[in-house]
């Protein structure tokens, strides 16, 4: 199938590679030259404008950072859209903004789906992402073979905006997990607990969760964790903070109290202020451990 891809960032570039490896014809556009040149080297074609991506594709995938970015890309795409084209937004944005994009695109006769992602850069590299899709189920059935190139699980969760709501629910839980994991780590390290043994217990006890299994924030305990790799981001602190802002704003509009999410957001603020905004969001533990006066090296035995 002819696929357009707009936004070749840490997620979008490996997603594009998987599309090419699956045999799709891919036309790309992005803000930075470097990723475009890499994609072209893999066999993609470069469009000379955002609108040209739509002109060359049956399915146009967006993967950009924010609500204004999505609206701006849709602005540029609209003149080139019409029946037979499907736009799939894989960004994480405000649900109400997303619903507006559904209306704008479908007014042209084109189809629109939102499909925010879970799995981080590791999932993008491996082609094992989870997609939470909002929009028409029939439109999803048409493009699902394209999405399968980079996703292990594609779930239709409802109509316009519902994909974004489900994604925000997922991320607020993950952020809370990480703050609790950081606090438990600080308590354990300061008490002299062997962190490798703590991890073994947690993985088989009621404290088990994704944050514990993948991001226990002590170097050397989990080889693939950010803590063991210079806090290289699988998901940046500033991006998680952005998603919690979206969740808090949407919850305020819907009348849902999110006190735990607000606490997690404050911890992320402290991490960003400390200079960890572009590190993995598990770097929030460095702030909590620092406040506790806990030595990370002490628990790594």
From first to last of the 301 residues of the chain, give the pLDDT tens digit.
999 999 999 999 999 999 999 999 999 999 999 999 999 999 999 999 999 999 999 999 999 999 999 999 999 999 999 999 999 999 999 999 999 999 999 999 999 999 999 999 999 999 999 999 999 999 999 999 999 999 999 999 999 999 999 999 999 999 999 999 999 999 999 999 999 999 999 999 999 999 999 999 999 999 999 999 999 999 999 999 999 999 999 999 999 999 999 999 999 999 999 999 999 999 999 999 999 998 775 444 3
CB atoms near residue 299 (< 10 Å): 26
Please check whether residue 55 is in contact with residue 80, taking contact to mean a CB–CB distance below 8 angstroms. Answer: yes
Residue 297 is predicted with a pLDDT of: 59
- For residue range 195-242, list pLDDT tens digits in order: 999 999 999 999 999 999 999 999 999 999 999 999 999 999 999 999
What pLDDT was estimated at residue 295? 74
Domain ranges of the chain: 2-158, 165-299
Q: Give the Cα separation of 164 and 64 in Å (integer).
A: 14
pLDDT at 298: 47
The token pair that represents 179 in the structure block: 């703050």
Q: Cα–Cα–Cα angle for 81, 83, 86, nearest 5°?
A: 65
User: What is the topology classification, in CATH, of domain 2-158?
Assistant: Rossmann fold (3.40.50)
CATH of 165-299 among 3.30.70.2970, 2.60.40.10, 3.40.630.10, 1.10.1040.10: 1.10.1040.10
Distances (CA, A) of 237 to 12, 15, 47, 143: 18, 22, 32, 32
- Residues carrying an active site annotation: 167
Which residue's structure tokens are 């999505």? 70
């Amino acid at each position: 199938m002819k696929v357009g891809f707009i936004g070749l960032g840490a997620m979008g570039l490996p997603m594009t590679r998987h599309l090419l490896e699956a045999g799709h014809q891919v036309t790309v556009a992005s803000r930075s030259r470097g990723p475009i040149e890499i994609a072209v080297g893999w066999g993609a074609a470069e469009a000379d404008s955002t609108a040209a991506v739509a002109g060359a594709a049956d399915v146009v995938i967006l993967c950009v950072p924010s609500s204004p970015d999505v609206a701006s890309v849709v602005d540029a795409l609209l003149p080139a859209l019409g029946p037979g084209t499907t736009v799939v937004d894989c960004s994480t944005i405000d649900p109400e903004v997303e619903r507006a994009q559904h209306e704008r695109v479908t007014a042209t006769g084109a189809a629109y789906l939102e499909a925010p992602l879970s799995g981080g850069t590791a999932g993008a590299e491996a082609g094992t992402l989870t997609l939470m899709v909002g929009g028409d189920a029939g439109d999803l059935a048409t493009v699902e073979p394209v999405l399968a190139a980079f996703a292990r699980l594609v779930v239709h969760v409802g109509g316009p905006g519902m994909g974004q709501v489900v994604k925000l629910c997922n991320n607020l839980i993950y952020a809370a997990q990480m703050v609790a994991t950081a606090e438990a780590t600080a308590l354990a390290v300061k008490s002299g607990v062997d962190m490798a043994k703590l991890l073994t217990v947690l993985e088989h006890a009621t404290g088990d969760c994704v944050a514990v299994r993948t991001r226990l924030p002590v170097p050397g305990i989990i080889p693939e964790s950010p803590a063991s790799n210079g806090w290289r981001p699988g998901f940046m602190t500033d991006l998680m903070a952005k998603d919690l802002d979206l969740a808090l704003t949407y919850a305020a509009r819907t009348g849902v109290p999110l006190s735990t999410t607000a606490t997690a957001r404050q911890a992320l603020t402290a991490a960003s202020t400390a200079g960890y905004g572009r590190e993995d969001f598990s770097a929030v533990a460095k702030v909590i451990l620092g406040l506790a006066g806990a030595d990370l090296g002490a628990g790594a035995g």
